[in-house]
Structure 1
Amino acid sequence: MIIREAEEQDLDKLIELWYEASLKAHDFIDPKYWEANKTTMRELYLPLSQNWVVGDCDGFVSMMGSEVNALFVSPGQQHKGLGTALVNWAKREEGTLTLNVYARNEKAIQFYEKMGFANIETSMDEVLNEKQFRMQWVKG
């Protein structure tokens, strides 16, 4: 599986992937929230991060150092090893990885636990009033 750095021309695909995957993974959050944040994601969050894509933008990981800001796989490409490949790639790059995940996103939590992450902190996302977990992986 080839993982490469995202390029400017990938941004529209990444935003659509993020949006579609967010709707599926976070069905407990009003879809209007994701729609309202498309521009912020495109103009702020992705440009501030290092973004790496797998396949033809079938999945991506956004990182700031060892912080995983986003990990998304296209709904039609899930359960094919793309997310695992992206996390394993990030593990090779960094000795420690941290991320936040909503407590109600049980599939993501199970995935991260399978990848060796552990919950190190619980907090509230004040904007959405959703409990979230801070998870961490440390190279053994």
Structure 2
Amino acid sequence: MINIRTSRPDEGQRAVEIWRRAVDATHGFLSKEDRRAIDEMVCDFLPQVSLWLAVDGNDYPLAFMYIDKGHMEALFVDPACRGMGIGAALVSHGLSLHPGMTTDVNEQNVQAIGFYEKMGFSRTGRSSLDGQGRAYPVIHLKYIA
């Protein structure tokens, strides 16, 4: 059974661990230098913000989502739990709070784009650079009910 709840301050390190495992499994397109730089930013950022966590029956975090002003900035699922509907449950929860939710996905992350389109998101644009100005194109998506 999966429950969704807000994170506690002591769960920041687990969120970083989930992020690292998920990125290692899905973001092979990142250069080693960019991966290290992004890791530093994530280690500083994730423990400081309130996240939505998907937790198992023992209250152990398996995935997280971060939404800022209706924009899903992050959704990461521990690779050991992929394909179990956890990401979909988090997105559905986010949509219940923000019906017109938007998100951005790296163009090279084809599986993620397919996941969001299956969830009802539509492409609204493309940027040739990511949010930090790196040369990783981003697809902009919005949920259309």
Task: Give me the TM-score of the superposition, normalised by structure 2.
Answer: 0.87
Q: Does 1:134 align with 2:137?
A: no
Map of 2:111 onto structure 1: 107
CA distance in 2, matches of 1:16, 1:71: 13
CA distance in 2, matches of 1:119, 1:74: 25
CA distance in 2, matches of 1:112, 1:23: 20
Q: Hey, which bits of structure 1, 4+ residues long, moved more than 4 A?
A: none
Q: Deviations over 1:112-136 (max 9, x none)?
A: 0000001101111263312210000
Q: Is the 1:118–1:136 Cα contact (8 Å) retained in structure 2?
A: yes
Q: RMSD in angstroms over aligned alpha carbons?
A: 1.6
Q: Is the 2:95–2:101 Cα contact (8 Å) retained in structure 1?
A: yes
**SS of the residue 1:76 aligns to:** helix
**SS of the residue 1:125 aligns to:** coil
Map of 1:125 onto structure 2: 129
Which segment is superposed worse, 37-46 or 128-137?
A: 37-46
Alpha-carbon distance, 1:77 to partner: 0.6
Map of 1:53 onto structure 2: 53
Consecutive unaligned residues of structure 2, counting only runs of 5 or more, are: none
Which segment is superposed worse, 33-42 or 17-26?
A: 33-42
Consecutive unaligned residues of structure 1, counting only runs of 5 or more, are: none
CA distance in 2, matches of 1:50, 1:137: 22
Q: Does 1:86 align with 2:90?
A: yes
Map of 1:4 onto structure 2: 5
Alpha-carbon distance, 1:50 to partner: 3.5
What code does the residue aligned with 2:53 have? V
Map of 1:23 onto structure 2: 24
What code does the residue aligned with 2:8 have? E
CA distance in 1, matches of 2:32, 2:7: 26
